[in-house]
Chains A and B, each alone.
Chain A
Amino acid sequence: MPPPQPAAPRTPDPPPPPAAAVFHIQGVTKVYRMGDVQVHALRGVDLDLYAGEFVVVLGPSGSGKSTLLNILGGLDVPTSGEVHYLDHNLTAAGDAALTRFRREHVGFVFQFYNLIPSLTALENVALVTEIAEHPMDPAAALRLVDLGDRLNHFPAQLSGGEQQRVAIARAVAKRPEVLLCDEPTGALDYTTGKLVLEVLERVNREVGTIVAIITHNAAIAGMADRVVRMSSGMVAGIQRNVKKISPSELSW
């Protein structure tokens, strides 16, 4: 495979020491109304994310990890507390500001890929690069995820793993500061899932994007710089991995 062109090679290990936090979250709570019930999804979360980090957020369903991801990604605003991205205050941002934030800084990877079925792999990526300021070449982004030979395939012609890699390429191609992945392997089989994790690891290593994966699969935690455990809407613990395991060595 040809080396990805736009990504400057970086020293893979050790991770850079935490500098200034890119994301700064403090005292965040989120209360939903679900019908007649009030759901306290987050009950005071403090968390910082640092440049170049690979973070895995672990927790059972209902622990609040998805809500946390939504708030980080600018899909939702907290009921109370503070959310800062660099010098942007996202705490009370409106729809337009959040859209701009997502457009400029965030890459999303969904559990079910959410590709546009009517667009080819290349076009799915181009859809996002066209609205980005300094995007990669869409073909280069696809080569980065080892799909250089599938550029003109429609989603229906790709396997689940391939679709998820297109989704990653789409998320990465605009050079976001952060890649937020919601159960990226949830719909994939074991081998394919590991392949996708390898791609995420490579993007983190080669492009320097912050990668945050939320999952209930504890085995993934091994490849992270830091593991955030969530439970009942609170951060139950943050653990720094002394030695990161490469995705190929993970098993579940």
Chain B
Amino acid sequence: MSALHRKLIRDLIHMRGQLFAVTLVLACGIATYVTMRSSFFSLEAAQFDYYSQFRFGDVFTHLKRAPESLAAAITAIPGVAAVQTRVLMDVTLDVPGLDEPATGRLISIPERRAPMLNDLFLRQGRYIEPGQRGEVLISEAFASANRLGVGDSLDAVLNGKWERLHIVGIALSPEFIYEIRPSEVFPDNRRFGVLWMSRDVLGPAFNMEGAFNDVVISLTHGASEREVISRLDQLLDRYGCLGAYGRQDQISFRFLTDELEELRVYGSILPTLFLCIVAFLLNVLLSRLVGTQRGQVAVLKAFGYTNWEIGLHYLQLALVAVTAGTLAGIGAGLWLASSLIKIYERYFHFPALQLHIDAPLILTAVAIAAGSACLGAVSAVRRAVALAPAEAMRPEPPATFRPGLLERIGLRALLTPASRMIVRNLDRRRWRAVFSSLAVALSIAIVVSGRYAMDAVDRLVSIQFHTVQREDVTVVFQEPRSAHVRFELAQLAGVLRVEPFREIPVRLRLGHRWRLIAVLGLLPDAELRRPIDSQLHPLTLPADGLVLNTKLAEILGARPGDILTVEVLEGARPVLQIPLVSLADEPVGLGAYMDLSALHRLMREGDTISGAYMKVDPAIAPRLYSVLKRIPAISGVSVREAMLASFWKTFGESMGVSTAFLVGFASVIAFGVVYNGARIALSERGNELASLRVLGLTRAEITRILLGEQGLLTIAAIPAGFALGFALSLLLSRFFSRDLFRLPLVVNAGTYAFAALVVFAAAIFSGLVVARRLRHMDLTAVLKSRE
């Protein structure tokens, strides 16, 4: 080992505290990178494999009823590679152990197993056997949420008759990676599940013998999705087609793709922030080291060491820290990624979701770490290289100071000499102070934006489920019914209020933009479901015309006053011109509303309803549920509280985990910055402080002077951190302004307080760690030392 290497090792040992802090920040940066990137790649790979191996469709549509012979015509559409016709029905299920009725989505499968689009992965049990009437496969998410296994059975209403279904297998389909009831945002796997049963059983049960009501299509390579969709719409128009759509509008695909996008964005922003801070910390650290080692550099140069050797020596110091941080970061990242994958497994259901680690990812992590280290080290190393030996022999020229900004604007009298020291020291290294403060601000912002997600979801739930949707139970009928059904519902024990609604599937068009959507007809004086305006006040539905929510209006480019083309996809399928009257502003989904009777008039139909919202007496709700389960006309029942409870359970846990990580990351940054700042200050001003001790200042007094600087920077960082946190939250709310849901921009006071508290605690902790060093200060040495 060369002497220079020995020096390297000793310097490393000497600076272990500071290097540790830098290493920690770096490790966090690399860990976030590895976690997010590898989760991203894992999910993406799992999605790709699943979709291709199990032939996930490209175009989907639902219709009223079409003869099987039409399948050939669909296949003949140019660009169509394969067609899968199916029978798909939503029915009420009676699940053992569950009070509320569950909704089962029954999907037909061939009686004998054959390759199909949206093919099934059989996790457990076996495929259905021909001729066995009651056999079903059920989705894994539904099975595990209800603890159902192979051999168990449940009851379902099949076209008016109760049937007992026997579970023979647990399956997964690429169609339901994210398994959610249509038109909802939060999955509730207890009360919504997918069941596959024989086409030969399902068809006759719903009057679909030799017919189908659902199509999945795959496209040939290079086919135009738009073209196929438009041809398909034409072909199926007279069969009650609800409009064909591509993967982009397939709900499970959409959720998963949004999540991937999120990971991709976070995976580049967070690590970048960390690594900028690492570069900054290393720069300060090495600049100081080169400063204190001027004499040593001079001696080395005098003895004939080349600039290259000396430059490399200091660079190595940075690289050792970086190597340690990178290794730790990669290890932690992989561990975190495997936990993140476990969280994802609860939301997204794959046959196999495995952590996907590849060499390029690891190598990129290493390269990024090395890059940030070199970026930070280069200017300091250059200074060491540039020192002329003779100049380096002399001590660094004394620091020049001038009155600080505060004093220049006339606040001198407010400051004691000790505070002037603090202010001027900061002023002298202005950029360093600005960057330190910014880094601490960033850590505050990270916590703020992390908690923002929680605040926003909280707000979203409170707006959507306490202001917009105030019903306890929603029932949906198999077929539209006469409105007098509402009185029958009202008769049921436990029902306090019934408000009917009419839902009509339409294609909403403005110019060349269009969207498939259901127009919701509501009573004008509805209390249980009321669209709201941007001020959260309930909207009165106009006697005529449409109300769209802002997101839908944005998608269509529509403004109040515009005339929209409404192609009704039900009944006589009229094409109507309806003005957009006003905008509603709810945070979930896309919505189009009309006055119930106006809708009836337009549809030229009598008093017909699709379902009803109900307020129920919680005390006798379970009895009501068991009654509802038995009403064959009802195809779906959703219970708001149950859905919310199940949401908070999953979301709350994953939110808790992510908050814990963000708090950890922010603390590491704050610790790294404040600790290093204080150590550098101690190294630069150790002599001053010791002199002051000799002059009779107490340890508390010099501690105040030493930590005052960091304290001031931390305090300055708080408003900056709040502003930055708000800006980040704003970005997030823009980013999360999606069809499925939109995060409102609300940051609670508690979130700011929490963020400030976390960072302050980290800062105080690091300050105290450094302050302990003041105890062991050698007072006699300063009498002799020149620094």
Contact = CB atoms under 8 A, between A and B. Distances in A.
A114 B688 contact: yes
Contacts of B399: 117-118, 156
Interface of B: 397-402, 416-418, 420-421, 424-425, 428, 687-688, 691-699, 701, 779-780, 782-787
A100 B786 CA distance: 26
A95 B537 CA distance: 68
B420 A118 contact: yes
Q: Which of B417, B421, B424, B787 has the most CB of A within 10 A?
A: B417
A156 B687 CA distance: 16
A8 B399 CA distance: 38
Given A123-B420, A130-B417, A117 B779 contact: no
A66 B400 contact: no
A114 B420 contact: no
B210 to A, nearest CB: 92
A73 B694 contact: yes
A116 B779 CA distance: 16
Given A108-B783, A110-B782, A156-B399, A118 B428 contact: yes
A5 B779 CA distance: 33
Contact of B688 (A99, A103, A116, A187): A116
Given A118-B424, A130-B416, 5 more contacts: A70-B783, A75-B780, A99-B693, A116-B691, A124-B417
Contact of A106 (B696, B780, B787): B696
Contacts of A127: 417-418, 692, 695
Q: Which of A76, A108, A127, A174 has the most CB of B within 10 A?
A: A127
A17 B418 CA distance: 42
A156 B398 contact: yes
A154 B428 CA distance: 13
Contacts of B421: 116, 118-119
B398 A96 contact: no
Nearest to B689: A116
A137 to B, nearest CB: 14
Looking at chain A, what size class is its interface with the partner chain? 35 or more
B398 A117 contact: yes
A251 to B, nearest CB: 26
Nearest to A125: B417
Nearest to B698: A99
A182 to B, nearest CB: 5
Contact of B425 (A66, A75, A102, A118): A118
Given A117-B401, A118-B399, A131-B697, A111 B420 contact: no
A212 to B, nearest CB: 13
A156 B401 contact: yes
A247 interface: no
A155 B780 CA distance: 22
Interface of A: 66, 69-70, 73, 75-76, 95-96, 99-100, 102-104, 106, 108, 110-112, 114, 116-119, 123-124, 126-128, 130-131, 154-157, 170-171, 174, 182, 187
A39 to B, nearest CB: 13
Nearest to A138: B417
A111 B785 CA distance: 8
Nearest to A157: B400
A155 B398 contact: yes
Contact of B417 (A102, A123, A155, A157): A123
Contacts of B787: 112
Contact of A66 (B417, B694, B783): B783
A190 B743 CA distance: 76
29 contacts: A75-B783, A76-B779, A100-B696, A102-B695, A104-B696, A108-B695, A110-B691, A110-B783, A111-B784, A112-B785, A114-B694, A116-B688, A117-B399, A117-B401, A117-B688, A118-B424, A119-B401, A119-B420, A119-B421, A124-B417, A126-B417, A127-B417, A127-B418, A127-B695, A130-B416, A131-B701, A154-B400, A157-B400, A187-B786
Contact of B779 (A75, A103, A131): A75
B713 to A, nearest CB: 16
A96 B700 CA distance: 11
A41 to B, nearest CB: 11
Contacts of A182: 783-784
Contacts of A187: 786
A170 B780 contact: no
Q: Lowest 10 A-B CB distances belong to which pairs?
A: A103-B696, A114-B691, A118-B424, A102-B696, A127-B417, A156-B398, A123-B417, A156-B400, A112-B786, A118-B401
Nearest to A110: B783
Contacts of A76: 779-780
Nearest to A182: B783
A189 to B, nearest CB: 16
A131 B416 CA distance: 11
Contacts of B698: 96, 99, 103
A111 B783 contact: yes
Nearest to A155: B398
Contacts of A70: 780, 783
B417 A119 contact: yes
Nearest to B697: A131
Contact of A95 (B418, B688, B697, B699): B699
A223 to B, nearest CB: 22
A114 B401 contact: no
A121 to B, nearest CB: 11
Nearest to A129: B417
Nearest to A107: B695
Nearest to B782: A114
Nearest to B418: A127
Nearest to A95: B699
Given A75-B779, A117-B688, A156-B401, A170 B784 contact: no
Nearest to A73: B694
Nearest to A101: B696
Nearest to B424: A118
Nearest to A109: B783
A100 B691 CA distance: 15
A47 B779 CA distance: 23
A109 to B, nearest CB: 10
B702 to A, nearest CB: 10
A75 B694 contact: yes
B94 to A, nearest CB: 79
A73 B691 CA distance: 13
Given A66-B780, A75-B779, A108 B417 contact: no
Contact of A99 (B417, B420, B696, B782): B696
A101 to B, nearest CB: 8
A104 B697 CA distance: 10
A170 B402 contact: no
Contacts of A103: 695-698
B687 A114 contact: yes
Contacts of A114: 687-688, 691, 694, 782
A102 to B, nearest CB: 4
Contacts of B428: 118
A114 B687 CA distance: 7
Contacts of B692: 116, 127
A208 to B, nearest CB: 20
A119 B693 CA distance: 16
A141 to B, nearest CB: 14
Contacts of A170: 695
B292 to A, nearest CB: 16
